[in-house]
Structure 1
């Protein structure tokens, strides 16, 4: 198999899909559904890789199934949330700055500030799944792969439960202005992000026996981890929550920022 050729085909497919979605976003004047495609896109990359190999074994099937499960579940959740809540304030602010202060058209701002940026990032984060499937061939599962699959499933389950708890909390009128600090949210301020973290490190571990290119592809989950913990994930969200939730400062004091931990006791007086 020509590995670079297969990856190039995947990348070309991703570019075409992104351009089509960009045209749709220009038509409806909203790019917010890009978050849903972030998840769907990884499932598509895994599926495109799977379709390019002959006689796939249990290793390839497992990598594809885990990536597809994660992507379809999260993508559907984010798409339905977008349909219900409308334009994401983050993208409204980003594109508004580009159009109002930098004189860009909406079409140009949407392309350069949203869609074009997501292409390489999505492709890189998804490299463990793509390379793992393309290199796995007819290989079976090793002990390392089984451990990775368990970690990935824990992550997917953790994220799913966290999202369900947050959705139920937001749907309760009495929760307005309050902080969700029960369920998984009692142990970490970001159970959904922690679930993503586990899912993609687990997928990388599943794929790692396929060969050294997958080891290098650890750059994917490393970048995702940085994004979730230090860049556009938790820090950006918490900046907004501190302004809009009076009790959030106390929540920060007693609750772990990322990895689940027992709540800390706050000294009184």
Structure 2
């Protein structure tokens, strides 16, 4: 099978899975677990590409392992959080607006405002891993791939530690309404997003070892970076936190918004 055929097969698989998950979300009237599938889906795309590779070498194994490690770890974290906390207020608001203002049924709103939108975005962000695996064959692991793997592993570790620190903080009732400003959260307001950023730029670098076709897939980490820093990641979350946590404004003044930096001294600290 040629490259476009393999990518087409992956895209068809993704569409089929999304349709099944959409039907489940309609049955339970909740799409919140879509965040968990965002991560799991990329691991599935990388695995599907790997299974279509006739002679996978070390480079293909490296790309697949990094993507699977990132996707399974984050997907499981988000799935368990959804099981514990239930419906995500963000999706409740988005679907509620479509139903109340535009007259959509829950099924139509869930399809158009959640699942259908995620298909091309997930496929695009995961494109470096898919192309890298499909093109790797028996390609050797070079210095660019090693640098990329180190960056990706740093990102995965950063995100994992940040999530663990936040989970521990939230589990203490005494911290209700407070802002976590210790550990990694002392140096960046979004260590989990920064971890995602590093993981996918690292995976792209590993995949870029295969040559120019993967360079085009830079659109994946570029879009993810835009999403995390300017669109639905940090900006949307901080808009809510500033309303619900009075101390968050002070936290913004002294803490880097994305890239880890030493905290600034303010009049209150």
Shared fold per TM-score greater than 0.5: yes
Q: How far off is 1:268 after superposition?
A: 5.9
Where do 1:141-152 residues align within 5 Å?
Answer: 141-152=141-152
Task: Give the whole-Å Cα distance in 2 for the aligned partners of 1:92 and 1:267.
Answer: 39
Task: Give the whole-Å Cα distance in 2 for the aligned partners of 1:255 and 1:268.
Answer: 13
Where do 1:181-196 residues align within 5 Å?
Answer: 181-196=181-196
Task: Give the whole-Å Cα distance in 1 for the aligned partners of 2:268 and 2:49.
Answer: 56
Map of 2:37 onto structure 1: 37
Displacement over 4 Å in runs of 4+: none
Residue range with higher mean Cα deviation, 132-141 or 76-85 = 132-141
Q: How far off is 1:267 after superposition?
A: 3.8
Q: Is 1:75 paired with 2:75?
A: yes
**RMSD of the TM alignment (CA)?**
0.9
Task: Give the whole-Å Cα distance in 2 for the aligned partners of 1:78 and 1:124.
Answer: 21
Task: Give the whole-Å Cα distance in 1 for the aligned partners of 2:268 and 2:223.
Answer: 39
Deviations, residues 114-143 of structure 1 (Å, cap 9, x unaligned)? 000000000000000000000000112001
Deviations, residues 157-199 of structure 1 (Å, cap 9, x unaligned)? 0000000000001110000010000000000000000000000
Where do 1:235-246 residues align within 5 Å?
Answer: 235-246=235-246
Secondary structure of the 2:52 match is coil
Secondary structure of the 1:210 match is coil
Contiguous gaps of at least 5 residues in structure 1: none
Q: How far off is 1:55 after superposition?
A: 1.4
Where do 1:37-76 residues align within 5 Å?
Answer: 37-76=37-76
Secondary structure of the 2:102 match is coil
Task: Give the whole-Å Cα distance in 2 for the aligned partners of 1:27 and 1:268.
Answer: 50
Map of 2:9 onto structure 1: 9
- TM-score (normalised: structure 1): 0.99
Where do 1:85-100 residues align within 5 Å?
Answer: 85-100=85-100
Q: How far off is 1:211 after superposition?
A: 1.7
Deviations, residues 45-69 of structure 1 (Å, cap 9, x unaligned)? 0000000011110000000000000
Deviations, residues 19-45 of structure 1 (Å, cap 9, x unaligned)? 000000000000000000000000000
Aligned length: 269
Task: Give the whole-Å Cα distance in 1 for the aligned partners of 2:107 and 2:249.
Answer: 39
Map of 1:136 onto structure 2: 136
Map of 1:164 onto structure 2: 164
Task: Give the whole-Å Cα distance in 2 for the aligned partners of 1:160 and 1:267.
Answer: 32
Map of 1:230 onto structure 2: 230
- TM-score (normalised: structure 2): 0.99
Secondary structure of the 1:141 match is coil
Task: Give the whole-Å Cα distance in 2 for the aligned partners of 1:187 and 1:64.
Answer: 31
Deviations, residues 212-243 of structure 1 (Å, cap 9, x unaligned)? 11101000000000000000000000000000
